[in-house]
Amino acid sequence: MMFKKKGNSHDNIDTILGKGGIFKGSFEVEGGILIDGKVEGDIKSKGILIVGKEGYIVGNVWANDLIISGKIEGKVYIKNRVEVQSTGIIEGELHCKILIVDEGGYVNGIMDMKYTDEWFIYSFFHPILKML
């Protein structure tokens, strides 16, 4: 199941890390990201983040929306909506406004759904929060 709302589609993907790819370090992009490889580091996106079945992220994540069918270990700051698909796993912290978990999807850790735009902007631009 993918987001049904207009503007939340694969058409907005600007950056792709394909299956078998490994990226070590942090990066920031303006548009959407599709991760089907492994990332060791922080990711900041002003668009959608899609973590495919083969995707694995160890680090902190900021994005407008998240669709996950792979795995994230770390702090996850999503401005709007998170969709954890049946094979998706989030371990750590999850901050978002809307959370949808398909049967089989897994979220383990601290969850905060009172997430505000101000908190998102603050956490996005203040790296000190990564140490909290």
Q: What integer pLDDT is reported at residue 36 of this predicted model?
A: 97
**What is the Cα 115 distance to its own chain's centre?**
15
Is the model's pLDDT at 128 over the cut of 90?
no
CA–CA gap between residue 128 and residue 108 (Å, rounded): 24
pLDDT band at 20 (very low <50, low <70, confident <90, very high): very high
pLDDT band at 62 (very low <50, low <70, confident <90, very high): very high
The alpha carbon dihedral of 29, 32, 37, 39 has a sign of positive
Q: What integer pLDDT is reported at residue 12 of this predicted model?
A: 84
Dmax (CA) for the chain in angstroms is 36
CA–CA gap between residue 79 and residue 82 (Å, rounded): 9
The stretch 34-38 carries a mean pLDDT of 97
Give the N- to C-terminal CA distance of the chain in Å, as an integer. Answer: 34
